[in-house]
Structure 1
Amino acid sequence: MATFTKLPSGKIRAQVRIGGFYRAQTFDLEKNARKWSKEIEQQLKLSSTGEYIDPPKDANLEDLIVRYEEDVGGVKPFGKNKAAVLKSFKRKLGHVKLRSMSEAIVRDFVDRRVKEGAGGVTISIDLAYLRTVLGWARYVRKLNVNPDITVDVKRSLKQRGLRVRSTERTRVASPEEIEKLAGHYRKMQRAQIDMIAVMEFATLTSLRQEEICALSIEDVDLERRVMVVRDRKHPTDKKGNHSVVPILDDFVEPILKAMGSRRRGQLFPYNHRSVSASFTRACQALGIEDLRFHDLRHTATTDLFARELDIESVALFTGHKDWKTLRRYTHINPESVHLQERRKALRRASEDRSQSGSDVTTV
């Protein structure tokens, strides 16, 4: 069934052969090799019968998540949100024995999350990831656990008065708000971030702050008038989700200014969190309510439609795969006609800053 070989390195090679199935792995300690082989023997036996095995008596949810992270995350790295949620599960529910996992445990978890102030959308995401891990345990590891214990709990969120769908924001920055922000940054001395340049690029291109700060000069091709935006946000495939974005005529001058004499590195060499924090502080100082840096993406998207581009063309800039998300921007509203005013405000601020010789130290 299982054989163990001591290698010249001192490590133990465990091999399991059952009914035509074969598994092998190397361990530092023999006790770990034997524990692994016993588990694999059970799984291989059941692979041929289609039955499920009860989890080991001492196995808890943290053990399962760690194995899931090694087996699944090792092949395809998780996004930061999923990784954070799994880490939270290990801390809050990691001690729960797999044999004890039940709907009651999940409901108690939701009760605690509500008391912590988590919203319905956040809790829904938590439950979705928990179901994913339990589903992997059942259908891949053949463990007798029930992924559906999260289903009814998730349905109960509405009865708790929690909103389970994100509220769609369509907030755009008015020319007056852009003028105020530009004036605020124009007066700053020895700023670490050229926020005027970043804001102008954001309101032109519709790129997210993470994408703007990660964009490299090497990925900008002014001859072909395209730029490669890498690892764009995606529900399941952020890593490697690159897209080619057109560079329109009025994108060129801001790009050349940002490049300066450089030919390598980030076009905007700033931390995206610092960009967001700076924008938030400026809005608070100026009394601009309910405006976030991400709203400049909405502003740019609205303006792209104001240029009379169709949904398919605008999607090249925004990176949306689901065009239904973009439809809410297709209805031209009063804010949409202020394209040129917004551009003029930022352009004036950029020119005044250049003439005054204000220092910008990169971070």
Structure 2
Amino acid sequence: MGTVVKRGKTFRAQVRRHGISRSATFDTKASAYAWVEQVERDIDAGASGDTVAPAGATFATLLEHYRDQVSESKRGKRWEVARIHRTLRDPIAEVPLARLAQPAVVAWRDRRLKQVSPASVQREWNLLSHACSLAVREWHWLVENPFTGVRRPPPTPPRDRLATEAELERILFALSYQPGQRPSTITQRIGAAAVFAVETGMRAGELAKLTWADVAPTVVTVRSGKTAAAMRGVPLSPVAQTVLCGLKPDPVDLTARVFDLDASQIDSLWRKAKKLAMIEDLHFHDLRHTAVTRLAKKLHILDLARMIGHKDLRMLQIYYNESAETMADRLKMD
């Protein structure tokens, strides 16, 4: 039941129901109680006061709307859609929006923590919370974000896995690739992409989108958006240039993709090659960590951040994974 409290010459009415909180001020006590009764009826009926969610809408309805209207235009569409579809199989998807509140989020969090790592739950949390925020601010499907005020899973340490020289040799052997050769199979192109990633620190998605129009003799241009601010030049080492020489067709179609791969192919074929090479727990993205750690020995930190594409220098602390023992050895050499 809502409450009505006299404040000076006015009456403040407040309703808290199913995780929804609303308040208003009235000149008369009767008006305040009438408003309380109406708001409670609206919430129970699923109208949530002034929200305009479709009749009978559930959290699944909200997520499907987000998937179709928001995820569709994002660079991370593939991963967002996968996480949304996973959530649609969870009991939280069946909760009516009128009853979507913190207890439902807590139950979802606890279920997921029993199934996946805290880091995975954090990524799903960010997506679902953002969808709810849009539902509050732009769609008016919710009055408040049910994720607000709920305790997040504990943070996990940044991943610090690096690829060793021996591991790189084994996985390139499994992919039948050596820098400079002309790849004749898709697995060999994965090998070329892996070597290029170690030399440049580029992400799998950036490699997949790279076209010959982006390639100059000593630099490639990474385009993460349509504006000049969303582009960066990546200098090429001699090994990286050798990889491109082996890939370059004759004649060159400037619109063609350099590696002729998409991000999903890189991910799946890398997993197969890793298994064939009997290497444990080495993600393709770990090659970016490996590249940053190597490049940090050669480049000034500002040049490194520009090459890798980090505007916040603190992000390099996540990717730079030089061990304390190795730094101690370098101090001896100085």
TM bin (shorter chain): 0.5 to 0.7
1:119 paired residue among 112, 117, 120 = 117
Question: Could you say which residue in structure 2 is the equivalent of 1:255?
Answer: 244
Question: Could you say which residue in structure 1 is the equivalent of 2:30?
Answer: none
Q: Is the 8 A contact 1:172 1:335 kept in 2?
A: no
Question: Could you say which residue in structure 1 is the equivalent of 2:13?
Answer: none
Aligned-partner Cα distance in 2 for 1:200–1:64:
42
Whether 1:227 aligns to 2:224 is no
Amino acid corresponding to residue 125 of structure 2 in structure 1: L
Highest relative contact order (Cα 8 Å, sep 6+), 1 or 2?
Answer: 1
Whether 1:208 aligns to 2:207 is no
Q: Is the 8 A contact 1:218 1:263 kept in 2?
A: no
Q: Is the 8 A contact 1:209 1:293 kept in 2?
A: yes
Q: Is the 8 A contact 2:160 2:321 kept in 1?
A: no
Question: Could you say which residue in structure 2 is the equivalent of 1:299?
Answer: 290
Q: Is the 8 A contact 1:197 1:254 kept in 2?
A: yes
Aligned-partner Cα distance in 2 for 1:183–1:201:
16
1:316 paired residue among 300, 306, 313 = 306
Q: TM-score, normalised by structure 1?
A: 0.61
Q: Is the 8 A contact 1:173 1:295 kept in 2?
A: yes
Change (3 A) 1:55 1:259: same
Q: Is the 8 A contact 1:121 1:164 kept in 2?
A: yes
Amino acid corresponding to residue 254 of structure 1 in structure 2: V
Question: Could you say which residue in structure 1 is the equivalent of 2:11?
Answer: none
Percent pairwise identity: 23
Post-superposition shift, 1:259? Answer: 0.7
Aligned-partner Cα distance in 2 for 1:241–1:63:
33
Question: Could you say which residue in structure 2 is the equivalent of 1:48?
Answer: none
Aligned-partner Cα distance in 2 for 1:193–1:75:
30
Amino acid corresponding to residue 192 of structure 1 in structure 2: I
Question: Could you say which residue in structure 1 is the equivalent of 2:155?
Answer: 164
Post-superposition shift, 1:287? Answer: 3.2
Give the 3-state SS of the residue equivalent to 2:148 in structure 1.
helix
Q: TM-score, normalised by structure 2?
A: 0.66
Aligned-partner Cα distance in 2 for 1:178–1:290:
13
Give the 3-state SS of the residue equivalent to 2:283 in structure 1.
coil
Aligned-partner Cα distance in 1 for 2:261–2:74:
27
Change (3 A) 1:151 1:285: same
Change (3 A) 1:286 1:241: same
| Structure 2 alignment gaps of length 5 or more | 1-47, 328-334
Question: Could you say which residue in structure 2 is the equivalent of 1:108?
Answer: 107
Over the aligned positions, Cα root-mean-square deviation in angstroms equals: 3.7
Post-superposition shift, 1:258? Answer: 1.2
